[in-house]
Amino acid sequence: MSTIPESQQALELEIAKLEQDLASLKRRRNALSAISQLPTELMHRIFHLSIRYPDEARGRDWTPLLNLEDTRRSISHVSHDWRTIALEWPKLWSEIHIKNTPKVEYLDLIRERARGIPLSLMTHWITHSTVPAVRHVFQTEGARLKSVALLDPVSVLRDLLPELKACSNTIEFLELDNLASHPLSPPDLTETDALYNFPKLRHLRISAWETLVLPPLSSNSTSLTSLELFFLRFPSTRVTDALFGTLRNVAHHLSSLTLSFMLPSNLQSGSLTTAGMLPIEMPCIKDISLISNRQDILPALSSVLLVPSSVRRVLIAARQGGSSQDVSSSLQHICTNIPSPKFLQLNHRFAPGDGTYSMCTYALKATPLNPQNAVGLNPDNVTIRLLPSPYPHAFPASLVNPDGWLFSALLRIVLTCPSPAPFWKALALVPTLEVIEHLITHSDDAFCRTLEEAVEADQVGLAEDGKCFPALVAIGTTFHRKDLSWDVEYAERLAIALLHKLRRKGTPYFAWLDFYGCRSHIDADTLRLLFSVSREVWWTVATP
């Protein structure tokens, strides 16, 4: 007779066999699903997009997610087919992320799955206890590491800096970011650090490590194409001298440059010494960004950096503490070889969360529909918010010079926040300006008032008469008020002022009038009045 344990064992074996058969049947069923019919190459692309996202601003096409390990684990647990494809695709395992204290065996397993392809390493907020694991990767894969991003406190960065020497001959992308740095904390100037030589380095990004000296010969002048330096405190003269020496060394092959000085206003003072410095010609530069919240830094940088007319994008951003005079003078310095723009957009941005504001300018050689010919002077695409009054970054009317570089060929201007009457009066003298798009927050708008005053003073006419907006043929108006009740009244005022202005030109003279963000429905009489001025009229009522 069989005993009870033997019977249980037989049942267990039968259950295991049935479970194995069930798993096999489920795999066969899953293999018939649409997702399982996709080619392996397409699955690879899906995996790639799930673990990386576009990040051209950091000098590389894609940046890995910080939760990469969780994402890879999720991918490999979707199905048997997905797991097989994931484990057999080396590129999925070519990124090594170290956040906590991983086991060396796990790191070796990732390296093994990546087979022989180049590796990338990223550390994020690690401690000194994790340094041995990072050191292990440097020592075992010094010949395969192409990209290294160390996002850690400066004390950890100092521990890891000597270890980079083991793979300095292969690294092409290097990012060093002092995550623990805070602009209000006292600077740590007890040590001075120096970067090693990286002969194959193509992209270098250093953030908030103000004691790191960048020797002019730390990179091959023909290999480095992208350089990004972000300062949260004012660096020493030794650091800035080395910076300009490096720029001069790599200038002839550099295609992308970002220099940011976002300094605390209440703890430090300092200035960049560029007087008497020879200009640094940058014939291959395509993208250059200069950002600061301190007066005089932007003009100092732009006075020594010469960009060619072939540049695609130039960013000049004055954040809180900077000035619009700095923006204007920097534009004229750095864009000496660039044709005057035909399109200009002035943005005043305010972040209610931290109370900071910035002024940025976006200028194009041609129309906005042709970005290939664009020189942008604008930081990023963010939501535009109105500044609290008074506007600290109002563009000075004295800088709106019809003969100056920024306005001499201007055809179209876009203003994303209200501008004062002196600005409009100065802009009215630009003889080429055809299109104005602006924002209105009050019924007594400075632009409309400028037109009415010009009509009353008989200051309307042709360009050679020095009159008010002589070439203007199109106006775009955006109302920015939820409690708007005067939009129709404003349109009538504008139309009457334009009728008086155009009395010698015949009507309808304007190409178009556009009113956006309206709250009222326009009546027939007002619409006829507008059409007596313009051949096309748009009246867009905002949705509740």
pLDDT single digits (tens) 46-62: 888 888 754 444 444 44
In a domain? residue 139: no
In a domain? residue 481: no
Residue 6: CB partners within 8 Å, gap ≥ 6? Answer: none
Residue 242: CB partners within 8 Å, gap ≥ 6? Answer: 213, 214, 215, 216
Half-sphere exposure (CA, 13 Å, Cβ side) for 339? Answer: 12
Copy the structure tokens of residue 418.
């209200």
Give the count of domains, the chain. 1
In a domain? residue 88: yes
Q: Considering the entire predicted model, what is its pTM? A: 0.76
Buried-state track 103-135, b at ≥16 Cβ within 10 A, e below 16: eeeebeebbebbeeeebbbbbeebeeebbebbe
Cα(288)–Cα(228) distance, rounded to whole angstroms?
10
In a domain? residue 329: no
Are the CB atoms for 92 and 51 separated by under 8 Å? yes
Q: Label the pairing between strands 356-364 and 374-375.
A: antiparallel
Half-sphere exposure (CA, 13 Å, Cβ side) for 228? Answer: 19
Residue 253: CB partners within 8 Å, gap ≥ 6? Answer: 221, 222, 223, 224, 225, 284
Residue 197: CB partners within 8 Å, gap ≥ 6? Answer: 168, 215, 217, 218, 219
**121 alpha carbon, distance to own chain's centre:** 24
Quickly list DSSP for 323-349.
Answer: -HHHHHHHHHHHTTTSPPPSEEEEEEE
In a domain? residue 424: no
In a domain? residue 336: no
Q: Which helix (H) or strand (E) holds 530?
A: helix 524-531
In a domain? residue 48: yes
Cα(12)–Cα(20) distance, rounded to whole angstroms?
12
Residue 246: CB partners within 8 Å, gap ≥ 6? Answer: 214, 215, 216, 218, 219, 227
Are the CB atoms for 151 and 175 separated by under 8 Å? yes
Q: Where are the beta strands (DSSP E) in 135-172?
A: 145-152
Cα(257)–Cα(227) distance, rounded to whole angstroms?
5
Closest CA to 539 of 525, 435, 521, 474: 521
In a domain? residue 78: yes
Domain span holding position 47: 40-55+67-93
Are the CB atoms for 282 and 312 separated by under 8 Å? no
Q: Is the dihedral of CA 334, 337, 338, 340 positive or negative?
A: positive
Copy the structure tokens of residue 173.
């992308």
Cα(483)–Cα(394) distance, rounded to whole angstroms?
25
List per-residue pLDDT tens for the chain, 544 residues long.
456 687 888 888 888 888 888 888 887 777 777 777 788 898 888 888 888 754 444 444 445 555 788 888 888 888 778 888 999 999 999 999 898 888 888 889 998 999 989 999 999 899 999 999 999 999 999 899 999 999 999 989 999 999 888 888 999 999 999 987 765 566 565 668 888 889 999 999 999 998 899 887 666 678 999 999 999 888 888 888 899 999 999 999 999 999 999 888 665 556 788 878 899 999 999 888 888 888 888 889 998 998 888 887 777 877 766 677 787 778 778 877 878 888 888 777 666 555 555 666 666 665 543 333 333 333 333 233 344 444 555 677 877 888 888 888 899 998 887 788 899 999 999 999 999 999 998 888 999 999 999 888 876 654 444 578 999 999 999 998 778 899 999 999 999 999 888 776 666 889 999 999 999 999 999 999 999 999 999 999 987 6
